[in-house]
Amino acid sequence: MDYNLAKQLKEAGFPQRGTGFNSDWFIETDEGKYYVPTLSELIEACGDEFRNLTKDNEIWSTNFIQGSEYDYGETEGKTPEEAVAKLYIKLNKKI
């Protein structure tokens, strides 16, 4: 996971502590310190809206339902972590 995605997760409210890698997995920059969660932490944080994670060629995709069965969408990434992180951000975007 890159710095920008880790920063977006923090800004969307993702907890900055967890199991991660050695439970102290962070990206540190001059701007701050950003937690890099595991795939299972990301999926759990998305809650009941998360539906599935698939891979087609080199692209990972998540499907989700938000609100009703007619309110659905998809996020994509180069890794499963990136796709699910983007889902978390989309579900928790601050207006």
Contact call for residues 87 and 64 (beta carbons, < 8 A): yes
Where are the chain's structural domains? Answer: 3-91
Average pLDDT by stretches of 10, the chain with 95 residues:
92 82 69 89 92 94 77 88 95 75
Q: How high is the pLDDT of residue 89?
A: 94
Q: How high is the pLDDT of residue 78?
A: 96
Distance separating alpha carbons of residues 33 and 65, to the nearest angstrom: 31
Closest by CA to 47, choosing from 16, 13, 3, is: 13
Distance separating alpha carbons of residues 31 and 52, to the nearest angstrom: 34
Q: How high is the pLDDT of residue 23?
A: 47
